[in-house]
Structure 1
């Protein structure tokens, strides 16, 4: 099966059995942003998880969290940031839009305060690398060695459908856990069999210690960066926030009658009845497909945000902490 379908089905399975937040395709590097993308991230709840649920459904900008803006006296927004003014302006606007900041005007100047203190809402972060077919490993070994040496997440797991041999285990770091996925039937249907066999448990990584991030590899030489614990902590917070706002339902449904859209007790995935599997609408669907049929106007609407709200702790429209509604009508 495709890695895309494997990823969605694994997320749907984990969501039904694990607490916390799941997200797909998030950056997991520090010195080289975008240099490492983890397939799935699971963020486990921390002591103030409920406070985060009540605050906003969106990701809070990193610059807004770092800004010298508290919940007491409002501050002139330009004095509260230690970054480029354009980034500060974007962060201010977004933080106000999502309800993390509230603002007021004083003599033509804009002042902001936090509606609530940023909560200690997440605990462990687990990274899951999906490789359904170990016969086509790609850069798997290098990717997992990067995850272990950087130690940005607390644990790393490899998920596969392949039979896992001793040779496979010897090629990846001992710290990486291994799951073998067994599927029976349509995983989008209620009652379908989807089991995870734990071949090897993951070992905790040293997230509170400096990490080594490989950058560029040349023959006989690899450039590296030493990533200090403070930088890792900031990156972990960004990952957690991005995961909170994004979730894993970031896929599209094809405009095709062969794509089943019924909303059962299981997660709603883009399952094609003609292909008999989950499909990636952006790369393999459309009128050029031999199984394409125009979608009916009566096909039920798909609301993935509402489904996430219904099936997970995440709240689509929390009440928030705003003391009063902020809007353009408050400005001079």
Structure 2
């Protein structure tokens, strides 16, 4: 099975097995965005319900890190340490999703948060590297070594469909757990449990590797904490069904591991990657209306993510009168 199909089968399986937020293909760096994590699994924290009540969307990093609070509204440019056009973009974004509310005073925009952002809304974060065929590992060892040395996530797991030998285990960091996952039978064998990574300690981020030398940067505890929150926010807003179904009569929605929203092509006889495999260039393409698939409804039904929260703006209305 190709890696995309393997990844979707694994996500559907984990969605059934775990009470967590799942997402695919997210940047897993602090100083660099070049490292991409195949699957991210974010477990709910103590105040997860407070986060779900705000918005189903990702909250922009600059809005969370700004000096705009839930008390008295303030002139938007005074709350950001960035260019005015960037601040305006963030304010528009945060207002559209219900994290900010805005009012006009003397021709100026004043904003405040509709609620206090719950820092401890997420708990453990698991990163999964998918490599169905260990016979073609690519840069697998380097990728996993980057994750371990940085320690941005709590645990790292390698998921494969291959038979795992001792030689395979010896070539990857001992901190990395190993699963053998069969996408056809939807069964998983834990070959090695992952070790907990020191997320609260500084980490070393491998930026680039060259013959004879490696470029690294230190990620301090504050930088890692902010990067972990950004990773969790992006996972919350994105999910793993981050693709559109193509307008092809051969492609249909299939219930993999009991969960819908997975594109299956009858002509190819397998799950397909719509963005890279579907369209007029495919010999089996037959133009038709795309299947009606409600991925958000599937996610809402099967995970702790909430598709349509009530929001906070009305509860905060008029708060500045008492501050």
TM-score normalised to structure 1 length: 0.90
Partner of 1:130: 130
**How many pairs align?**
315
Deviation at 1:325, TM superposition (A): 11
Aligned partner (choices 228, 236, 242) of residue 228 of structure 2: 236
Partner of 1:329: none
CA deviations over 1:150-178 (Å, ceiling 9, x no partner): 00101000000000000000000000000
Partner of 2:157: 157
2:19 corresponds to 1:19: yes
Partner of 2:320: none
Secondary structure, in 3 states, of the residue corresponding to 1:260? strand
Partner of 2:218: 226
Greater Cα offset, 44-53 or 309-318: 309-318
Partner of 1:89: 88
2:239 corresponds to 1:247: yes
Q: Distance in 2 between matches of 1:60 and 1:266?
A: 27
Change (3 A) 1:63 1:180: same
Deviation at 1:321, TM superposition (A): 0.4
2:274 corresponds to 1:281: yes
Partner of 1:320: 311
Aligned partner (choices 182, 203, 211) of residue 203 of structure 2: 211
For 1:5-84, list aligned pairs within 5 A.
5-32=5-32, 34-84=33-83
Q: Distance in 2 between matches of 1:324 and 1:48?
A: 18
Partner of 1:3: 3
Q: Distance in 2 between matches of 1:286 and 1:150?
A: 39
Partner of 2:99: 100
Secondary structure, in 3 states, of the residue corresponding to 2:259? coil
Deviation at 1:263, TM superposition (A): 6.5
Q: Distance in 2 between matches of 1:220 and 1:290?
A: 47
Partner of 1:269: 262
CA deviations over 1:72-108 (Å, ceiling 9, x no partner): 1111111111223222221111111110011112222
Partner of 2:284: 291
Secondary structure, in 3 states, of the residue corresponding to 2:261? coil
Partner of 1:260: 252
Deviation at 1:258, TM superposition (A): 1.6
Q: Distance in 2 between matches of 1:83 and 1:279?
A: 41
Q: Distance in 2 between matches of 1:236 and 1:294?
A: 42
**Does the CA contact (< 8 Å) of 2:251 and 2:266 recur in 1?**
yes
Greater Cα offset, 135-144 or 212-221: 212-221
Q: Distance in 2 between matches of 1:288 and 1:208?
A: 49
Q: Distance in 2 between matches of 1:324 and 1:138?
A: 52
**Does the CA contact (< 8 Å) of 2:115 and 2:316 recur in 1?**
no
Deviation at 1:274, TM superposition (A): 2.1
2:182 corresponds to 1:182: yes
- Structure 2: runs of 5 or more not aligned: 318-323
Q: Distance in 1 between matches of 2:57 and 2:181?
A: 32
Deviation at 1:303, TM superposition (A): 1.9
Q: Distance in 2 between matches of 1:182 and 1:66?
A: 42
2:189 corresponds to 1:197: yes
**Does the CA contact (< 8 Å) of 1:76 and 1:109 recur in 2?**
yes
Q: Distance in 2 between matches of 1:108 and 1:294?
A: 51
Change (3 A) 1:254 1:276: same
Q: Distance in 2 between matches of 1:237 and 1:144?
A: 21
Deviation at 1:114, TM superposition (A): 0.8
Deviation at 1:300, TM superposition (A): 5.1
